[in-house]
Amino acid sequence: MPLLIQLRRGAAALWTSVNPTLAAGEQAFETDTGKMKIGDGTTAWTSLNYTDVGVAGPTGVTGVTGVTGVTGVTGVTGAGVTGVTGVTGVTGVTGAGVTGVTGVTGPTGINGVTGITGITGITGITGITGITGITGITGITGITGVTGPTPSAGIVIAYSLIYY
C-alpha cells in the first residue's frame, strides 16, 4: 500500500486569523499564495518567515523615487576677523628688443591647368508663335483716269511695252 504524505494547508487569511505555532520541522502551505512556512516549535505563524521554495520569480519594477526633502537651514558664519590684504608685487620689466625687417615677398606660383569645359545643355523647346495682328485699313482708291479716244473703224492702234 503506497504511503500518502499531506502538508497542513489553508488560505493565507485562515492561517493569519488562527495564528498557530507549528511543531519543529512541520510544514504548512498557503493554498491561495503558493507560499510555505516551516515551524520551529516556538514561533507563531505570523512571526515565521516564508521558506525559499522553488525558483525565484523576476525582480519587480523599481518604485518611483520619493520627493526630495527640504534643504536645512544654513549654519551661522564664524565670528573671526578677516585679515588685511597683502601688498601687490612689482610688475616685471617688459622686453626691449627691436622688431626685425620684414622679408621680401616670394614669387607667385604657377597657375594650374584650366579644367575641361562641361557639355552644353539641351536646347529648350521653341515657344508658341504669337497671334497675327489686325489687318490695316484699305487705302482710298485713286481717281479714275480720263478715257481715251475711241478708234475709228478700220484703224488699229498697237501698243508695245518694253520692260527693262
Residue 90's pLDDT is: 82
Residue 143's pLDDT is: 87
> When comparing pLDDT for 131 and 163, which is higher?
131
Residue 135's pLDDT is: 87
**What is the 3-state secondary structure of 28-39?**
EEECCCCCEEEC
3-state SS assignment for residue 16: helix
Tell me which H or E stretch contains 8.
strand 8-10
pLDDT digits (tens, 9 = 90+) for 111-145: 888 889 889 889 888 889 889 888 888 888 888 88
132 half-sphere exposure, CB direction, 13 A CA radius: 2
Q: What is the DSSP letter of 27?
A: E
Query: Is the CB of residue 37 less than 8 Å from the CB of residue 45?
Result: yes
pLDDT digits (tens, 9 = 90+) for 35-68: 999 999 999 999 999 987 666 778 888 988 988 8
3-state SS assignment for residue 12: helix
Give the chain's largest Cα–Cα span.
176
Phi, psi of 50 (to 5 degrees): -75, 150
Residue 44's pLDDT is: 97
